[in-house]
Amino acid sequence: MNQEEIKSHIPHREPMLLLDWAELAEDSRSHARFTIPEKPFFCEGHFPGNPIVPGVILCEIMAQACFPLFMEDLPGKLALYRGLDAVKFRSTVKPGDECEITARLVDHKGNVYVCDAQLSVAGKRAAQARITVALVPQE
């Protein structure tokens, strides 16, 4: 799915739509890609002269990349964070970097979904997390 197709499934819009492309692969994993803009708003002041993508943004990129895993249950609902566990940051991500994200569904009970995700740049793992979301009715 390209960005326009992604928008038909999740409510995020620019500048907080942090996926360029996503798919549910035959291996039951989601695969996604996002290229960090050259001058992203979230790097203003983080850090002057040495912009680094904040860890919380990397978590949001990974969380958004999980949506294909529960896409069929999304209509009329929002996926809201319930938890972030086992978060690790292994290397910095900078403006212009192309992020490759993979995620897999670990558990699903009722409206709660638990996913393991990892984000890599140039084949090197930069971040990973266990992400728990709850699907709640959209108001």
Q: Which member of 9, 12, 31, 46 is catalytic?
A: 46
Contact criterion met (CB below 8 Å) for 41 and 95: no
Please indicate whether residue 46 is annotated as part of the active site.
Answer: yes
Q: Which amino acid is at 113?
A: Y
Instruction: List, in sequence order, every beta strand (DSSP E) within 2-58.
Output: 21-24, 29-35
CA–CA separation, 20 vs 100, rounded Å? 10
Backbone angle region of 52, left / alpha / beta, with phi > 0 → left and psi within -120 to 50 → alpha: beta
Q: Which amino acid is at 85?
A: D
Q: Which of 19, 11, 89, 85 is nearest to 54 (CA)?
A: 89
The catalytic site residues sit at: 46
